[in-house]
Chain A
């Protein structure tokens, strides 16, 4: 946040509260840290992000460097040792790939896809929602009709169709996830922007003849953030889950850039013959990641929703 925005938002918090010693941001963080479940979520997410970022450093092998793989080590159960002395803590897949390493690399892809698609969808959706609320009239009813129609179709269906057209690839799945998600943000922010628009500070800003864009993004937007943050947290989790589902179905990511979903899909055929670990461990990591994000989101919603208090 730039200083200007900070100053602006503290003025907006206004009405004598401007001299609060702690910013709303800090208050939220400390409330989050006081919630035990949320704390567990935060710690887990941090661990996963660190693991994803440093995957090339901590992974025992580069799972996609074929020269490091030994096909003779294929489908070894967890804890087995290779001929060259390396121990496969979580076992290996059908191509003799160390599953732990594959999971670390898969985590990278999953988190990258989840966060980037949610962030871009947020920017696009929030801008459209803000403009829609601020402009009102025909533009507003047109945009909201589009949002309505899109939201009446399940996200997975829209993503499916997009991927059928676009084909596979990290960029394509991010695009498909943005298309499926922008409408949620647009509707959320429009709702709060409609309320904010009628507040006195907007009239004040208008009477100072500030340009519309400045009023929208510097004055109204900061006050619409709390519900948007809650939605965004939940949406990141949903995006990760959707990407995994699509990759599992074989229409998301190509085999060259495996995410957790693709790893699970790879193990599916061996599941029936009893080799559970190839699917099970990537699934467990995926599950923990999504649960952790949702725990944070749940707690954020309770903290940021004033009606919930008391």
Chain B
């Protein structure tokens, strides 16, 4: 186990290193941030001053070395635009994104699993078939377009729910949460539903496939022969076996929810880190782009690690090794 953790940590550090080099060099080759930083009317002297103050006159490897040593001490550089530490900027925005992603995941599970189980138990019924058609639609509907339609319908036409912002938040241990106020909830509902739609479809399909497969196994027949009520067979035995592969997917999907939050946050003006990165890309705010990347790599690696560990807990047949 400890060997496994070690090899995974090494892998994460390597990934971080490779990604940071690629992006750093890439960004270095592409744009000159000086044009972003300066007003068009700046004099050559001002220009030189800015270049020197950001260390942009040094060769790329020296700049990278500077970035790396600072990063190791927790300083990912100051945002060119906000003139604040990039790390602080992102960490301030992170709770909003995590809240959105988490609520979307819960919505996905609450709707996805029951519908999937039903569709797996009665694959030929009319309800199941409509559920499956819905899931193809959910797969195909681009998130951003559904978001627009939601805004159009629920905010513009019906005026039921607000179309942008986060609403009132309550501070829990210093972290603002919108889940606990009515206003916050009303702001959260549309974006979370928008983000969840794709996941609902995915979870429906996975659960259905799992149930279909498990129902044909011998132990189900045995449980029936033993006279167990069908309810118990499905809810305990079949569901348990179906959940195992679901855990992996859910872990990965949490990551993709955080990434896809970029889209939803843009539509609903949700003040999360996705909105921040899009704005940063638009103005080539290097430190923010790099910091976002570093943070997401770490976040995803941690999620993946947790999923793997959870997986081995749920399914004792799985053993953790350096090579998956």
Contact = CB atoms under 8 A, between A and B. Distances in A.
Interface of A: 141, 145, 148-149, 152-154, 156-157, 160-161, 163-167, 237, 241, 244-245, 248-251, 261, 264, 268, 271-272, 274, 276, 279-280, 283, 286-287, 290-291, 294-295, 298
Chain B interface, DSSP helix/strand/loop, else mixed: helix
Contact of A148 (B31, B139, B267, B324): B324
Contacts of A153: 255, 259, 296-297, 300
B252 A250 contact: no
B260 A154 contact: yes
A167 B263 contact: no
B145 A251 contact: no
B69 interface: no
Given A163-B281, A165-B30, A244-B142, A154 B256 contact: yes
Contact of A160 (B31, B140, B143, B262): B262
Contacts of A279: 145, 148, 152
A153 B284 CA distance: 22
A245 B263 contact: yes
A291 B136 contact: yes
Contact of A245 (B142, B149, B252): B142
B98 interface: no
Contacts of B323: 141
Interface string B138-169: 01111111001101100110000001000000
Contacts of B163: 272
Interface string B29-69: 11100000000000000000000000000000000000000
* Interface core residue of A160, A164, A250, A272 (most chain B CB under 10 Å): A164
B3 interface: no
Contacts of A251: 278, 281-282
Contact of A286 (B11, B15, B142, B304): B142
Contact of B262 (A152, A156, A294): A156
A261 B143 CA distance: 12
Given A274-B156, A287-B141, A295 B281 contact: no
B262 A283 contact: no
B134 to A, nearest CB: 12
Contacts of A261: 142, 144
A152 B251 CA distance: 10
B182 interface: no
Contacts of A244: 142, 144-145
A280 B147 CA distance: 11
A279 B263 CA distance: 16
B277 interface: yes
B94 interface: no
B252 A152 contact: yes
Nearest to A290: B140
Given A165-B30, A283-B148, A152 B300 contact: yes
Contacts of B15: 149
7 nearest A-B residue pairs (beta carbon):
A165-B26, A154-B259, A154-B256, A283-B145, A157-B259, A290-B140, A291-B140
A250 B278 contact: yes
B248 to A, nearest CB: 11
A283 B149 contact: yes
A167 B30 contact: yes
28 contacts: A156-B256, A156-B259, A156-B263, A160-B259, A161-B293, A165-B29, A166-B26, A166-B30, A244-B142, A248-B144, A248-B266, A249-B144, A249-B266, A251-B278, A251-B281, A261-B142, A264-B145, A271-B156, A272-B155, A272-B156, A279-B148, A279-B152, A280-B148, A280-B152, A283-B148, A286-B145, A287-B145, A291-B136
A237 B142 CA distance: 10
Contacts of B301: 152
A289 to B, nearest CB: 9
A152 B255 contact: yes
Interface in B90-126: none
B23 A165 contact: yes
A245 B143 contact: yes
Interface in B263-304: 263, 266-267, 277-278, 281-282, 284, 289, 293, 296-297, 300-301, 304
A161 to B, nearest CB: 6
A248 B263 contact: yes
A294 B140 contact: yes
A66 B263 CA distance: 31
Given A141-B323, A251-B278, A272-B163, A161 B151 contact: no
A269 to B, nearest CB: 11
A250 B267 CA distance: 12
A163 to B, nearest CB: 7
Contacts of A298: 136
Nearest to B148: A279
A264 B260 CA distance: 18
Given A154-B255, A156-B263, A163-B281, 12 more contacts: A154-B259, A156-B259, A164-B27, A164-B281, A165-B23, A244-B144, A249-B144, A249-B262, A249-B266, A251-B278, A268-B267, A272-B163
B23 A161 contact: yes
Contacts of B256: 154, 156
Interface in B241-255: 252, 255
Contacts of B29: 165
B137 interface: yes
A141 to B, nearest CB: 7
